[in-house]
Structure 1
C-alpha cells in the first residue's frame, strides 16, 4: 500500500489525477472502475480539464461504477447515474454505451452486473466514516460479490446532506459491487479528505485486516495507492 499525504483537497485531486492519467496514457482503452460522492469531484474536474486542454480521449474507455441507490430513478438528481453524467461523462468524448452504473433491486440484478464487471485496470474508491468501500458496510465478507445492501444509519446520516438534510429521504438500500469484486481490479486508487475520515483512514492503513473496517482489506491488494489530505491523515502514527 503506497500512501501519499497532500496539504489539501486540491493537492489530493491533482495527485489522484496523476495516477489515473498514467493508466490512461499507458492504455487508451482502459477499463476504469469509478466512484461517486464528494471525494472524487476534484479528480473528475481534473480529468475534464485535461480532456479539454490536452485532448486526452475517452472514446475507447469502458467504465463500471461501484454502486447505486435502490429505488431511485436513474434521472433523479441524486442518482449516481446522474452524478457521473454531470461530473464526467457529458464533458468528455466517452461512448455512453461504454459506461455502466449498476441498477436494480434483486439478487439477480446484482449477479448480472457482477458478471459484466471484468478486467478493471484501476478502481477508484472513497472511504466511509465507518470504513466502508462502495456500500460494503462493516461485517461484509471479504469475498462478497455485487449484492443488495441494507444501508446503516450512519451511512444514511452521512448522505442526508444530498437529500435536503432529511434522512427519511435517503434510500435504505443500495446495489453495490462486493469487496471481492473490487479486489479483482489490477490497481486500486483510494482517496479521502477531511477530519471526519481520519479514524477510518487510520484503521484502514494501520489497523488489523478485519471486516469491521472493510477498507482494511486493501492492505492485501498487490497495487493499492492511497491519497489523503493532511486532515484525513491526522491520526496516522507515521
Structure 2
C-alpha cells in the first residue's frame, strides 16, 4: 500500500482525480467504480468540470461500490448521489452506467446480477472512502477479509454519519446496504482510498499503525501492492511514525 500525504481536502480531491483522469485518457474502455458521500464530492466536482471541458468518457463504464437499501429516489441513495453530482451535470454520458438496486426484493438475485457485471467489466479503479470506525463500503468492523458482495447491517456510527451527511432523522436513515466485499474491492487493478479531516484521524492511525485486523476493516488494504491512500494533514494528525 502506497501512502500520499497532501495538505488539505482540495489537494486530496485533485490528487485522487488525477488517477482517474489518467485512466480515462489512456485506456480504450476505462472502467471506474465510485464511492459516494462527503469525501469524494470534490472529486466529482472536478470530474464534471473536466467532462464539460471536453474529457472524453464516451467509452467509459462507471459503476459503484455499494447501495443503501431503500427507495431508489430517497435522498440518501447512491443512485440519487450519482445523478445529482455527476450524471445530471454532464452533457456527455459514459457508455455504461451500472448501479446496484437497493430497492430489490430479492437481494441474493441482485448480488448475483451485479457480480456478473463485475466479471464482465474488470475495474481499472475502485474509489473508496474511510469510515470513522475504519469501515470500507459497508464492510463494518468484524467483517472477514475474504468477504464477497453481501447485504450488510450498518453500525450505529455509520447510521449517524449518514444522518449527518444527508440531513435526515434516525427513523429515515437506512440500516442496511448492499456492498462489495474485500474480495471484489481488491480485484480492481488500482484501489484509491481518500481520507480527509480530523474526524478520520483515529481511523487513519489504526489503518497505518495499528494491528491488521477485521476490527479495523480498512487494514485489509495494507498489504495490497495496488492500493494508494491519499491522506490530508488533518486526517494524518495522530500519526506517530515518519512516512
Q: Which TM-score band applies after superposition, normalised by the shorter structure? A: over 0.9
* Residue of structure 1 in register with 2:214 after alignment: 211
Aligned Cα RMSD in Å? Answer: 1.5
TM-score between both structures, scaled by the size of structure 2:
0.92
Paired residues of 2:196 and 2:231 also in contact (CA < 8 A):
yes
Matches within 5 A, 1:186-197: 186-197=189-200
TM-score between both structures, scaled by the size of structure 1:
0.93
Counting matched residue pairs gives 235
* Residue of structure 1 in register with 2:111 after alignment: 110
* Residue of structure 2 in register with 1:31 after alignment: 31
Cα drift, residue 163 of structure 1: 4.6
Paired residues of 1:163 and 1:169 also in contact (CA < 8 A):
no
Matches within 5 A, 1:123-142: 123-142=126-145
* Residue of structure 1 in register with 2:62 after alignment: 63
**CA deviation digits over 1:87-143, x for unaligned, max 9?**
112333224x61112113522322221222131111000010010101110111111
* Residue of structure 1 in register with 2:42 after alignment: 42
Name the SS for the 1:221 alignment partner.
Answer: coil
Matches within 5 A, 1:93-108: 93-95=92-94, 98-103=96-101, 104=104, 106-108=107-109
Unaligned runs of 5+ in 2: none
Structure-2 separation of matches of 1:35 and 1:162: 14
Unaligned runs of 5+ in 1: none
Paired residues of 1:12 and 1:228 also in contact (CA < 8 A):
yes
Paired residues of 1:114 and 1:145 also in contact (CA < 8 A):
no
**CA deviation digits over 1:12-52, x for unaligned, max 9?**
11111111111112114211011000100001111111122
Matches within 5 A, 1:75-224: 75-92=73-90, 93-95=92-94, 98-103=96-101, 104=104, 106-118=107-119, 119-224=122-227
Paired residues of 2:130 and 2:218 also in contact (CA < 8 A):
yes
**CA deviation digits over 1:198-232, x for unaligned, max 9?**
11112112222211111111112221111111111
Name the SS for the 2:171 alignment partner.
Answer: helix
